[in-house]
Amino acid sequence: MTSTATSAAPVLEVRDLEVTFGSGHAAAKVLKGVSATIERGKTLGIVGESGSGKSTLAKAIVGLNPVSAGSIWVNGADVSRMTSGQRRAMRREVQMIPQDPYSSLNPRRTIGQTLAEAIDPVKSNPRAHREKISYWLSTIRLDADVAERYPHEFSGGQRQRIAIARALAVGPKLIIADEITSALDLSVQAEILNLISRLRTELDLTMAFISHDLDVVHHVSDEIMVLFHGEVVEIGDVDSVYGHPKHPYTRKLIDSVPGGPGFDIGERRAAVV
């Protein structure tokens, strides 16, 4: 593939992806021919109830789940054909923001140490990366002096913002946000959604935003993909899918949203602190 073709390729392309757990009579096909594309600077919202295959897809993209069939392409490169060394390098290009930031932050490392390691895993001295650490903390609206503190000293919402900063500090081509607001109360959810919306614009992020909450996905995405029992039942422009759903399952998800289409996310928003 030429460099021109690579630069023009979508950041992420999933082609007829299948993931099966177990074997023989115990085999369970969790993803069934899933296909999706994320263009540079766009956000694809992936929505579905628990068990729909959302997190399985996310883990397959970052190489944590084996692929049974189909392929995953990142920046024009077929992940399934990469060597182990290429996969390790690719993992810096695709960063996942976890649902539970506390368990993903090392309690023995300061926030500065955590961010320094993301910036440069080889030379992860916070002093050497002081300016970059301050920049990423300011980006998530935290003061530079919090770099000396430990994860347990922060609230759940602050820890989630730190997890976002850590993912961004790596300099990835693609961010996967996996249910990042589900463990937070409504006012803190609003802070995180406001932050994501701002960063999408300021940093021109390319993102897969995963949630069971269609209203949340609606407000942070350019396109929506609806998963049901491991299959894509609907995909398209965010306003078209949310305003004019074609599949009964999508309608069910919309009907579960307080107020349905037009529900004002301002009702759950709070000022970002």
Mean pLDDT by 10 residues, the chain (273 residues): 55 96 89 96 95 93 89 89 78 89 88 96 90 96 95 94 96 94 87 94 96 89 96 95 93 75 43 38
User: 200, 181, 183, 182: which is closest to 191 by C-alpha?
Assistant: 181
Amino acid present at 207: M
Rg (CA), the chain: 19
Whether 172 is covered by a domain: the verdict is yes
What pLDDT, on the 0 to 100 scale, is given for residue 23? 86
Number of domains into which the chain is organized: 1
What pTM was estimated for this model as a whole? 0.88
Closest CA to 16 of 38, 31, 29: 31
Residue 264 is part of a domain; what is its CATH number?
Answer: 3.40.50.300
In a domain, residue 118? The reply is yes
Residue 259 lies in a domain: yes
Q: How far apart are the C-alpha atoms of 106 and 10, rounded to whole Å?
A: 33
In a domain, 125, yes or no: yes
Answer yes or no: is 152 within a domain.
yes
In a domain, 273, yes or no: no
Q: Are 40 and 26 in contact (CB under 8 A)?
A: no
**Residue 42, domain extent:** 3-268
Kind of pairing, strands 28-38 and 12-21?
A: antiparallel
CA–CA distances in Å: residue 121 to residues 61, 143, 149, 150, 216: 22, 23, 20, 19, 33
